[in-house]
C-alpha cells in the first residue's frame, strides 16, 4: 500500500494527518503519514496527483480536484472542483494552480473559496507556411490548439511544453524545438527559472539567472531555452529546480548542483581561512559532487564489486533544500531545515551545508518517489517486500 | 518591554489597507496584533508559541519574495510586510527573554528589517526598539585605538585646487565647466572630524548595527564577496591587531547608506551646500549619502558613476586616479552587464602590453586628505586606494 509521509511547513492545515486530523502542529518536524485522498491505492493509475504551493496544496484524483490550506481567512479551508476530464498533472503557484488534463488541455484555478476552473488559451506556435493545412475545399484549416504534455510553475514563471515540443511561457509561445527529434522527459520550475530535460539527456534552462540558476557562466536573464553547454555530452537522467538553485543526475550516477547556496542547498561546504562561511554564494556552473560513501556501503560484507549500489538515482528540490535518492534506497539531503523540511532531528539547526543521510524513515519502507514543496518534503513509500528480485539491495 | 514601547507597535487597524490582498500576512499579523492587545490589557495569553512560529514564517516567506526578481521591482508592500513581521518577531523574542544574548539576536533582526524591508512608516518604533536593544549591552573587550590627527602633507595634484570655495565660485569654476576639483578644508567644521577618529565612539553609536561588508581588496575580482556583519566585529577585525597572520582579508564597508541606518552618525556631518546645485532649474533631487570605511589597502577599481559626486575625507588619506569620460573607449570597460561601468585595468600599475590604448589616456593623480573633498562630475573615471585606515563620506546628486 502506498503511504505518504510528510515533513515541513504545515501552518495552514494544507495536509491532513492520518492519526491526528486536528493536529495543531504548524511545522511538522519529522515524517508523519498524511491522508492521500486515494485510499493508499497501489495501482498507479488511481493514485492522487499532488502539487505544493506555500499556503495551499492541490490534490487530484481522476476528475476531482481539491485545494487545501489558507485560501481566504482560515487554515484548513478546502474546495473541491470537478474537471471536465481526467487530470494528468498539477502545478501549484501563489496566484493560481495549473491543471493539465489527460487530453492535453490546460486549465487554471485560483486558490480561493469560490474557485472555478478556467480554460487557458495558448498562442499557437509559428508554423512554416508550407505546413498550412487546408480542408478539402481549400480553406485554411484552423490549427489545432497545442496539446500540452508537461507543466510547471514558480513565483514569477509559468511554463508548458506541447507534444510537438513547443515551449510556452503561458500563454505565449516562447520557443519551438525541432519536432520529433526527441521528446521532453522532464520540466521543472524554480521561483523564476525553468529547466527542461530531453530524451537525449540534454538540459535546457531559461528565465532569471542572476543567482546562477541557469548553469551558464554569465549571470543574466535568458528569454528562451539555452542548452547548458557544460553538461553537453553528459547524458542527464533527472533534473530538479529549487527556488534559486538547480540539480541534475547523470547516467553515470553523478550529481551536479548549481545556483544560489545561501542555505546550503547546493551541498557545497565553503569555509574561509578564518572560519567564516562565505555566503551567500552563487555557483553559476554545474558543480560535480564527490559524495561520501553511503552508510549501507561500509556495512556490506562483500562490497568489492558494488560501488554503484549507492549511486545517486534521483534528485528533488524545494525552495532552499535538496534531496537525493540513492540506488540503495537511502535518502540524503542538504539545505534549509528550520521548518522541518528535512525531518525532525535537524530542527535545531538552521541548515545543512553538505549532503548527509536523512534519518527518521522506517527501515522497512521503500521510498518510491519524493515531492518537495517550497518548505516541505513528501515521501511516497511502500512496505518493503521481504524477498524480491527487483530490490536493489538483495 | 514597557508600555510606551508596546504602544508604538502597529495595531491591526493600522495595517488593514496594507494587508488587503495579502492572505497569509493578514491572517498571521491579525493573530500577532490580537496577541499584543491581549498583553496590553493583561489578558491571559494563549497560543503564543504558535503565533511566534507563524511570525517567523512570514519573515522567512517575505525574505524569499524580496529575493525573487530584481530588488528594484520588489513591491513596496512586500518590504513593508517584511519589516512589520520583523518588528513582531522581535516582540515575541523579547517576551521569551530579555537577556543580552536575546537582545543581540533582536538587534540583528532589526538591522535586517532596515536593510531589506521598508520601515519608513514605523521610524519611531524602529528608533525606540534600537534604543531599547542597545541599552545595557556593554563592551567588555579592550578599547579600540584612537587614530592620530594628522597635519596636511604637501603633495602633487594634477587637478585644480580651491580652498573652501563659496557656492558661486564652485558653480562657475567646477560645476558648470564639469571640472574635477580638489576642495580643501571644506568639511573642517563637521563634528565627525574630531569624533570619528576615536573608534570607540563609532563602536558606541554603531557597534551593534549590522552592515554589508565587502570582502577582498576589490569588487571586480573573482575572490570578492559580500557579507552582513556587525560593525563591532568589523572594527575589531580591521583596526585592532594589524600584526597578525597576514592572511587576513581586507574588509570594506563600502557604498552603504549608513546614515539612514544610524541617525547619531548623521548628526555628525552636514550635506555640503554644493550638492544643492543642479543643472536644471527645478529643485535638486535628493542626495544619496554613502559611507566608505576600511583599513589601508581597500581599492575601488577604475570605474565611473552616473551622478555628481562629492567625496569627503573624514580621516585617513586616499590615493585617487582620474580619467575623463572622453577616454572611455581607451579604458577597457568590462563587457558584462554588472561591471559595464568598471575598467579591466589596474590604474596604479598600467599594463600597456595587454591594454595598449592606455597610452593615449590622460590620467590625473591626487591625494585626498582629511578635511578635503573631491568634486567629480558625472561619468568621470576614478580609481581609489586607501593609503591608511580611512573613513570617507560621498554625496551623489543629479
Distance from CA of A340 to the nearest CA of B (A): 12
Stretch among A292-296, B163-167, B297-301 having the lowest mean pLDDT: A292-296
Q: Which residues of B touch A272 (CB under 8 A)?
A: 249
Burial of A152: CB neighbours in 10 Å, binned 0-12, 13-18, 19+: buried
Element (H, E) at A150: strand A148-153
With contact defined as beta carbons under 8 Å apart, do A30 and A344 qualify? Answer: yes
What's the pLDDT at B208?
85
Task: Give the ipTM.
Answer: 0.90
pLDDT (mean) for B88-96: 94
Measure the CA–CA gap between A373 and A9, rounded to whole angstroms.
9
Interface of B with A in 212-251 (CB under 8 A): 215, 225, 227, 247-249
Q: Is A339 on the interface with B (CB under 8 A)?
A: yes
Residue with cell 514543496: A373
What's the pLDDT at A44?
62
pLDDT single digits (tens) A158-169: 999 999 999 999
SS3 category, B233: helix
Residue with cell 578635511: B371
User: Phi and psi at residue B346, in whole multiples of 5°?
Assistant: -100, 105
pLDDT single digits (tens) B109-166: 999 998 899 988 898 899 899 889 888 766 667 788 888 877 778 888 899 999 999 9
With contact defined as beta carbons under 8 Å apart, do B107 and B133 qualify? Answer: yes
User: Phi and psi at residue A308, in whole multiples of 5°?
Assistant: -80, -10
With contact defined as beta carbons under 8 Å apart, do A48 and A38 qualify? Answer: yes
What's the pLDDT at A389?
47
pLDDT (mean) for A96-109: 96
Nearest to B129 by CA among B78, B62, B82, B83: B83
What's the pLDDT at A301?
52
Whats the size of chain B, residue-wise? 398
What's the pLDDT at A30?
78
SS3 category, A242: coil
What's the pLDDT at A78?
93
Read off the pLDDT band of A391 (50, 70, 90): very low
Judge: B50–A26 Cβ closer than 8 Å, yes or no. yes
Read off the pLDDT band of A274 (50, 70, 90): low
Stretch among A14-18, A220-224, A291-295, B230-234 having the lowest mean pLDDT: A291-295
With contact defined as beta carbons under 8 Å apart, do B169 and B275 qualify? Answer: no
Judge: B336–A208 Cβ closer than 8 Å, yes or no. no
Q: Which residues of A touch B70 (CB under 8 A)?
A: 210
With 70 as the cut, is the pLDDT of residue A249 above it? Answer: yes
Pairing mode of beta strands B161-163, B181-184: parallel
Q: Is the peptide bond before A171 cis (omega within 30 degrees of 0)?
A: yes
Go through the domains of chain B in sequence order and give each one's CATH number: 3-134 (no CATH), 161-397 (2.60.120.650)
DSSP string, B256-267: E-HHHH-HHHHT
With contact defined as beta carbons under 8 Å apart, do B253 and B151 qualify? Answer: no
Read off the pLDDT band of B64 (50, 70, 90): very high
Distance from CA of B136 to the nearest CA of A (A): 28
Nearest to A55 by CA among B64, B116, B68: B64
With 80 as the cut, is the pLDDT of residue A356 above it? Answer: yes
Measure the CA–CA gap between A77 and B23, rounded to whole angstroms.
12
Stretch among A56-60, A146-150, B71-75, B170-174 having the lowest mean pLDDT: B71-75
Q: Is A56 on the interface with B (CB under 8 A)?
A: no
Nearest to B275 by CA among B137, B125, B116, B398: B398
Q: Is B188 on the interface with A (CB under 8 A)?
A: no
Mean model confidence pLDDT for chain B: 88
pLDDT single digits (tens) A13-48: 998 888 764 555 566 667 888 877 665 565 666 788
More confident residue, B156 or B300: B300
Read off the pLDDT band of A280 (50, 70, 90): low
Nearest chain A residue to B337 by CA distance is A220
More confident residue, B249 or B383: B383
Amino acid at each position: 500500500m502506498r503511504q505518504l509521509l510528510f515533513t515541513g511547513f504545515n501552518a495552514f492545515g494544507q495536509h491532513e494527518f492520518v492519526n491526528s486530523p486536528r493536529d495543531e502542529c504548524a511545522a511538522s518536524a519529522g515524517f508523519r503519514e498524511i491522508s492521500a485522498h486515494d485510499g493508499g491505492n497501489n495501482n498507479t493509475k488511481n493514485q492522487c496527483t499532488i502539487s505544493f504551493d506555500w499556503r495551499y496544496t492541490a490534490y487530484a484524483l481522476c476528475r476531482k480536484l481539491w485545494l487545501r490550506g489558507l485560501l481566504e481567512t482560515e487554515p484548513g479551508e478546502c474546495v473541491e472542483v470537478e474537471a471536465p476530464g481526467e487530470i494528468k498533472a498539477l502545478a501549484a503557484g501563489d496566484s493560481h494552480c495549473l491543471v493539465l488534463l489527460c487530453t492535453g488541455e490546460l486549465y487554471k484555478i485560483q486558490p480561493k473559496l469560490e474557485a472555478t476552473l478556467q480554460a487557458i488559451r495558448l498562442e499557437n506556435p509559428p508554423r512554416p507556411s508550407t505546413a498550412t493545412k487546408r480542408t478539402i475545399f481549400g480553406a485554411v484549416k484552423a490549427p489545432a490548439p497545442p496539446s500540452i504534455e508537461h507543466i510547471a510553475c514558480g513565483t514569477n514563471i509559468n511554463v508548458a511544453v506541447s507534444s510537438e515540443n513547443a515551449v510556452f511561457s503561458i500563454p505565449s509561445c516562447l520557443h519551438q524545438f525541432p519536432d520529433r527529434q526527441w521528446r521532453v522527459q522532464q520540466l521543472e520550475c524554480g521561483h523564476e527559472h525553468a529547466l527542461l530535460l530531453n530524451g537525449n539527456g540534454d538540459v535546457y534552462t531559461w528565465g532569471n539567472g542572476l543567482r546562477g540558476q541557469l548553469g551558464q557562466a554569465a549571470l543574466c536573464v535568458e528569454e528562451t531555452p539555452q542548452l547548458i553547454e557544460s553538461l553537453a555530452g553528459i547524458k542527464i537522467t533527472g533534473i530538479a529546480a529549487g527556488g534559486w538553485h538547480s540539480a541534475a543526475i547523470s547516467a553515470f550516477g553523478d550529481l551536479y548542483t548549481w545556483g544560489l547556496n545561501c542555505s546550503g542547498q547546493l551541498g557545497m561546504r565553503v569555509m574561509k581561512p578564518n572560519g567564516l562561511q562565505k555566503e551567500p554564494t552563487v555557483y553559476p556552473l554545474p558543480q560535480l559532487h564527490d559524495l561520501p560513501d553511503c552508510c549501507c556501503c561500509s556495512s556490506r560484507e562483500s562490497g568489492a564489486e558494488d560501488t554503484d549500489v549507492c549511486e545517486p538515482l534521483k534528485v528533488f528540490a524545494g525552495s532552499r533544500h535538496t534531496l537525493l535518492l540513492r540506488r540503495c534506497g537511502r535518502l540524503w539531503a542538504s539545505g534549509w531545515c528550520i521548518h522541518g523540511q528535512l525531518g525532525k532531528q535537524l530542527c535545531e539547526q538552521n541548515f545543512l551545508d553538505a549532503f548527509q543521510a536523512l534519518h527518521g524513515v522506517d527501515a522497512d519502507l521503500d521510498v518510491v518517489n519524493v515531492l518537495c514543496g517550497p518548505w516541505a518534503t513528501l515521501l511516497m513509500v511502500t512496505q518493503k517486500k521481504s524477498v524480491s528480485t527487483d530490490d536493489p539491495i538483495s | 518591554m514597557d508600555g510606551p514601547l508596546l504602544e508604538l507597535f502597529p495595531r491591526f487597524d493600522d495595517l488593514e489597507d496594507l494587508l488587503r490582498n495579502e492572505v497569509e500576512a493578514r491572517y498571521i499579523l491579525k493573530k500577532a496584533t490580537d496577541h499584543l492587545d491581549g498583553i496590553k490589557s493583561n489578558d491571559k495569553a494563549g497560543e503564543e508559541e504558535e503565533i511566534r512560529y507563524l511570525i517567523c514564517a512570514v519573515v522567512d516567506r517575505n525574505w524569499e519574495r524580496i529575493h525573487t526578481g530584481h530588488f528594484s521591482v520588489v513591491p513596496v508592500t512586500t518590504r513593508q510586510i517584511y519589516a512589520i513581521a520583523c518588528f513582531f518577531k522581535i516582540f515575541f523574542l523579547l517576551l521569551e527573554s530579555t537577556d543580552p544574548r536575546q537582545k543581540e539576536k533582536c538587534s540583528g533582526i532589526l538591522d535586517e528589517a532596515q536593510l531589506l524591508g521598508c520601515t519608513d512608516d514605523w521610524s519611531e518604533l524602529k528608533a525606540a526598539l534600537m534604543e531599547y536593544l542597545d541599552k545595557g549591552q556593554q563592551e567588555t573587550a579592550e578599547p579600540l585605538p584612537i587614530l592620530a590627527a594628522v597635519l596636511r602633507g604637501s603633495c602633487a595634484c594634477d587637478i585644480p585646487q580651491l580652498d573652501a570655495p563659496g557656492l558661486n565660485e564652485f558653480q562657475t569654476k567646477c560645476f558648470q565647466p564639469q571640472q574635477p576639483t580638489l576642495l580643501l578644508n571644506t568639511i573642517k567644521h563637521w563634528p565627525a572630524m574630531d569624533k570619528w577618529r576615536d573608534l570607540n565612539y563609532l563602536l558606541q553609536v554603531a557597534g551593534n548595527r549590522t552592515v554589508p561588508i565587502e570582502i577582498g581588496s576589490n569588487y571586480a575580482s573573482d575572490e570578492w564577496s559580500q557579507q552582513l556583519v556587525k560593525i563591532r566585529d568589523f572594527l575589531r577585525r580591521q583596526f585592532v591587531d594589524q600584526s597578525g597572520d597576514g592572511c587576513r582579508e581586507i574588509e570594506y564597508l563600502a557604498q552603504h547608506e549608513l546614515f539612514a541606518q544610524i541617525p547619531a552618525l548623521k548628526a555628525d556631518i552636514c550635506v555640503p551646500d554644493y550638492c544643492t546645485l543642479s543643472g536644471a532649474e527645478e529643485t535638486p533631487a535628493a542626495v544619496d549619502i554613502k559611507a566608505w570605511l576600511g583599513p589601508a589597502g581597500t581599492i575601488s577599481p577604475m570605474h565611473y558613476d552616473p551622478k555628481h559626486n562629492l567625496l569627503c575625507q573624514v580621516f585617513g588619506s586616499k590615493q585617487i586616479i582620474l580619467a575623463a569620460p572622453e577616454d572611455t573607449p581607451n579604458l577597457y570597460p568590462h563587457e558584462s552587464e554588472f561591471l559595464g561601468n568598471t575598467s579591466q585595468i589596474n590604474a596604479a600599475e598600467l599594463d600597456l602590453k595587454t591594454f595598449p590604448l592606455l597610452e593615449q589616456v590622460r590620467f590625473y593623480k591626487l591625494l585626498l586628505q582629511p578635511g578635503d573633498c573631491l568634486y567629480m562630475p558625472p561619468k568621470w573615471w576614478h580609481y581609489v586606494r586607501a593609503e591608511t585606515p580611512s573613513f570617507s563620506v560621498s554625496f551623489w546628486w543629479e
